[in-house]
Structure 1
Amino acid sequence: MFLKSNHALRTFFTCCILALLSNTAMNAQSKAAQIEDLMTLYSEYGQFNGSVLVAEDGEIIYKNGFGKANMEWDIPNDENTKHRLGSITKQFTSMLILLLVEEGKLKLEVPIITYLQDYPKTTGDKITLHHLLTHTSGIPNYTSFPKFFAETSRDPFTPNDFTSLFKDMELEFAPGEKYSYSNSGYFLLGVIIEKVTGKSYEENLQEKIFKPLNMKDTGFDHHDVILKNRASGYQERGNSYSNAPYLDMSIPYSAGSIYSTVEDLYLWDRGLASNKLLSEKNKELLFTPHIKSGDSFYGYGWGVDKMPDGISKDSITIVGHGGGINGFNTIINRTPSKQDLIVLLNNTGGTNLGEMSRNIYKILNGMPYDLPQKSLANFLMEEINKNGLEAGLAAFEKQKAAKEFILKEDDINALGYQFLQSGKLNEAIAVFKLNVTEFPESSNVYDSLGEAYMVAGNKELAILNYKRSVELDPKNENGKEMLKKLQGE
């Protein structure tokens, strides 16, 4: 009798466990289907072209590719496509720094001149590794230098030679005083890593992170290397694309030169979930909210925030980072307490990955999510090309308030330049004027309209718009330079 009852009890519990596993699998399948539908719509609307991976409770529930890794050859994106990561690189740099701290080769609070003896003493005595890691050093950000992308970004540099471009510059503020994002600071971290190890930044990445985590599809990107499954980078031109401008990868260096796949970034997430690379004590430093950054906080190479209201009833910490580099934009978001992961790697320049990530989090948490909207700029272009300028502008006004469309300044600006570059001056000026009407407090819209008037030979209106652009953004060096040329200074 006892044996029979025990067998029945075991059978009952087995059935319960199987039912629970079945429900969990069905739930994951349902979420995966929702994510698939969501990302398919983003892709159909031309807002996502890349690779995606989502994990829940540490397990992958969805991965896929959308659009083309190479448009010339119609090669599709998939989960094995290698994308440039941009500033997601910074979290690998911060990991290397803390690994070297753990080895006793670095200290976070000593002046950087301790490791870079040829760095100017006036600033090198004040800046620490902690300042570099948290963007609180005050070192000017080299990607914001005038004409950086036009005149500097295509040339190869050694790390030491490139450092000379900014190391003698005056600090923007006293170290530790405030947060200001600086690629220069993370570039210096790479130089320090090389100095104390006697090995290249790339060798350190491979030996200390990629090989231990079996990240075989991740590395430092070199333009000349034949790299299987590498995505090409593109940028939007209205409702079409062009190849992204060339960038020598010696320049983003330890601030942005890594490529990877969504699957390898899942391995990275799993490595961070364990103490395989770093002790728990030092790992916590990565995700500590050291300094306020806008509405959130910054750790060491990671943004730190709480789950937005309306997604979860609980106060859940999200750690993540975005990246943007010629032809690519990327995002990785993790919730360590729940072991959820979202990775989105896009190879058509800037798109709203933050919005996509939030919608995926809503799906994971069983919350209603927002469907993507069509680009009103693309609609405008189609109407102008089909029915003429006046009819296109009238159709724009009629559809502007429709919920299915979204109006973005950058999209309208790109459309204006598409007309400008194809010699359609009337259309270009009309579109740029529309952007001024819709976004009157943006410096960039006046700058673009000023350029169109300049090309059209209307010097008076070109000057008027460039002046307004500089008034709204006194740091607009392009506007200042154009004004000098137009006014004959």
Structure 2
Amino acid sequence: MLKIIGLAAAGLLLAALLALAAIYLWKNHGPDRKDLAADIARKVARWQGSDSPADVVVAIVRDGEGRVLSHGPGRADGTTLFQIGSISKVFTTLLLQRLVDDGRLSMNATLAELIGERYPLAPSVAGITLRQLATHTSGLPTVPQYLEDEVIRRVGAENIMTDPYNHMTREEVLVYLANPVGGEKPGSFAYSNYGMGLLAHVMELVTGKDYPELLREQIFDPVGMRDSHGDLREDVARRLIQGHDAAGNPAPPWRFSSLAGAGSITSNAEDLIRFISAEFDPASPLADSLARQRERQPKAPVALGWFTPAPHDWIEGNSGILWHNGAVNGYFAYLAIDPERRIGVAVLANRQKDVTALGSTIMRLARTQSW
């Protein structure tokens, strides 16, 4: 009986593998229909559905050219501003790489060395390095319970997702390090919004400049990202496309009085095309830093701020991509690059509905189909 069960299980596994292989071959070796825009429109329409359809703006870079495709009821276009959530982490870690390349920081500098004289640090966190913060291997929690409890105390549990990072301060973020309850031993990968936000705060303390100013100076201005912002000033907030929550209801944007490095950036498709294009331009003023940021990091399934291919990427044939997604309560975004093929994709939506699979599919279409 056990032998029969084992043979049956092996047969099911073989069938599943054959099915995945068939899907891979169908998706990646089918004919070029020579109408990439129409293919993308069909995929976006399927994602949108008929339930409160969101605006979706897709940016494609291939063959040295950038194009913007817009879909949805609100007439969003390449200049429309969206919050990009955790894609901000790509820029936070690039900022770190820039400061390392300038000689102002070291990837292996510890919290004790950088802020230990100003803030009490528990022994368990004193040796955490900037590299560990940037690769989610610091052992720090996603958000410390201490900070979450403080937000709930101030706004109530029912309102915690309305604007959570705007109800805590940088000082409270740093005070946690004296008694880091809920942390783990550094070394293993564990995604941490707190750790990435802390990284930005450390860079602020070391340079004496705030995070939005550093982004502007080190990344946005050199690349020509003229309409990307690290904070949500009133003039920027007024220009944001209206966001919607998962149910399709209007949702206010998130502001970040702390942990901005985890998710505060606002951008648009045209600026993300400029950023993707800089990834492939050896003459870009950021070329060296961008190349170092793309390197696979030790002891982590990531590059610096980028995820490496996920299982669905392998099925789509996107084995050479680096990617990140991002969400706040009202927006969802996706960004991916294929450095070898010099192809990049950004997807921006004004609804908190996951666009990761859609983005991966569009990345495959950009690789296998032509305009």
Q: TM-score, normalised on structure 2?
A: 0.78
Q: Kindly, what percent of the aligned residue pairs are identical?
A: 25
Which has the larger displacement, 297-306 or 259-268?
297-306
1:174 aligns with 2:185: yes
Residue 261 (structure 1) aligns with: 268
**Structure-1-length-normalised TM-score:** 0.60
Is there any run of 5+ residues in structure 2 with no aligned partner, and where?
Answer: 1-31
Distance 1:166 1:66 in 2: 45
| Number of the residue aligned with 1:59 | 65
Does the 8 Å CA contact 1:49/1:346 hold for their aligned counterparts? yes
Secondary structure (helix, strand or coil) at the match of 1:290 reads coil
How many angstroms apart in 2 are the aligned matches of 1:50 and 1:251?
Answer: 29
Say if 1:357 and 1:222 are closer, same or farther in 2 by CA, change over 3 A: closer
Q: What do residues 294-313 of structure 1 show as CA deviations (whole Å, max 9, x unaligned)?
A: xxx2121110127844544x
Letter in 2 for 1:346: A
Alignment of 1:81-480 (within 5 A): 81-117=80-116, 118-119=118-119, 120-142=121-143, 146=148, 148=151, 151=156, 153=164, 155-165=166-176, 168-170=179-181, 172-176=183-187, 178-222=188-232, 224-227=234-237, 229-237=239-247, 241-244=248-251, 247-275=254-282, 276-278=284-286, 280=288, 282-290=289-297, 297-305=301-309, 308-312=313-317, 316-351=319-354, 353-366=355-368
**Secondary structure at the counterpart of residue 278 of structure 2:** helix
Q: Is the 8 A contact 1:234 1:242 kept in 2?
A: yes
Question: 1:182 & 1:310 partners in 2: Cα distance?
Answer: 27
Say how many residue pairs are matched: 323
- 1:460 is matched with none
Answer with 1 or 2: which has the greater Rg: 1
| RMSD (Å) for aligned C-alpha atoms | 2.8
State the Cα distance separating 1:108 from its structure 2 match. Answer: 0.9
Return the letter of the residue paired with 1:355. Answer: A
Q: State the secondary structure of the residue aligned to 2:368.
A: coil
**CA distance in structure 1 between the aligned counterparts of 2:297 and 2:255, rounded to whole angstroms:** 32
Contact kept? 2:57, 2:69, Cα under 8 Å: yes
Partner Cα separation in structure 2 for residue 361 and residue 164 of structure 1? 42
Higher relative contact order (CA 8 A, sep 6+): 2
Give the AA of the match of 2:234.
D
Task: Answer whether contact 2:144 2:181 (CA < 8 A) is retained.
Answer: no
Corresponding residue SS for 2:246: strand
Q: What secondary structure is seen at the aligned counterpart in 1 of 2:172?
A: helix
Structure 1 unaligned spans of 5+:
1-26, 69-74, 368-489
Deviations 1:395-454 (A, max 9, x none): xxxxxxxxxxxxxxxxxxxxxxxxxxxxxxxxxxxxxxxxxxxxxxxxxxxxxxxxxxxx
Letter in 2 for 1:334: I
2:185 aligns to what SS in structure 1? coil
- Indicate how the Cα distance of structure 1 residues 55 and 142 shifts in structure 2: closer, same or farther if over 3 A, else same: same
Shift of 1:110: 2.3
Alignment partner, residue 47 of structure 2: 42
